[in-house]
Chain A
């Protein structure tokens, strides 16, 4: 037998954890536990990112996603501190329908995943020969509008199309600002009077 290829081993490990806890999120009844499983699932996905060579994205995943989920968790605890919300059952019929649709969805997607020959992976020598590359600077340069990773692109047409993501970056930044303001506005505390009328209706 060949020697074990460790990245594959770790891929199996991380993907197993990620999938198991994703299933945990789906099956858990308690909202706080769901959040906890979600954190573990997302963290192992970050591990998968690292394995695929996307270390910056992995760290971002840990920081933002997991941090974002943290907020979810807080809200979960805050809003559902009443007993009746901690566990809300869905009727069994819906579970069964969902189960079958999910099964079909998964098999459809899974079938597609194995449908392209080029996706089946490199051979061992090629994979081991791939150089470790720095991702942070190219990523940052990409966001700032310079694609330093594709400077030697021979095709002029393609060079036209890779002006970078500066514009998108700006849009997202503005979008984030708007979202923050909007969220704060939406979630603002109600005035005393209107709160009373809302409670009465």
Chain B
């Protein structure tokens, strides 16, 4: 087997690997926001972005991935807890906005929401 693939299986993964996964989820989330016309799809994109960020916090705070003075330690987990909670709050507000938008326009297509166009 190739050394790189073998190493992935036999050596502990590091912060880098977590960050790459986080980056992937982040990118997917951004693209989701950029390509979905459904307002709920955009919300899901936001959830994914936040989740990708969370993954980074957890990774930077984990003692299994990186054990040095620069590690975030418990702060990483605390911050990600806040992120999760605030994400829930944000989802509630966003849903309310979406609902309002739907009540006003009869549609949840965000492309219809371009009254601020220049």
Contact = CB atoms under 8 A, between A and B. Distances in A.
Verify that A and B bind, or say they do not: yes
Interface of A: 1-5, 7-9, 11-12, 15, 18-19, 22-23, 25-26, 31, 34-35, 38, 41-42, 45, 48-49, 51-54, 56-57, 60-61, 64-65, 68-69, 71-72, 75-76, 79-80, 85, 88-90, 94-95, 98-99, 101-102, 105-106, 109-110, 112-114, 116, 118-124, 126-127, 130, 133, 135, 138-139, 142-143, 147, 149-150, 165, 168, 172, 175-176, 179-180, 182-187, 190, 195, 198-199
Contacts of B30: 102, 105
Contacts of A139: 74, 77-78, 81
A126 B58 CA distance: 19
A71 B67 CA distance: 38
A129 B91 CA distance: 40
Interface of B is mostly: helix
Nearest to A103: B27
Interface of B: 1, 6, 8-21, 23-32, 34-38, 40-41, 43-45, 47-48, 51, 54-55, 58-59, 61-68, 70, 73-74, 76-78, 80-82, 84-93, 95-100, 102-104, 106-109
A79 B108 contact: yes
Contacts of B66: 118-119, 121-122
B25 A45 contact: yes
A199 B107 CA distance: 12
Interface of A is mostly: helix
A182 B96 contact: yes
Contacts of A56: 77, 81
B14 to A, nearest CB: 3
**A-B interface, 6 closest residue pairs, ranked by CB to CB distance from nearest:** A121-B14, A109-B23, A186-B96, A113-B19, A119-B15, A52-B62
Contacts of A90: 35-37
A8 B10 CA distance: 7
A126 B67 CA distance: 9
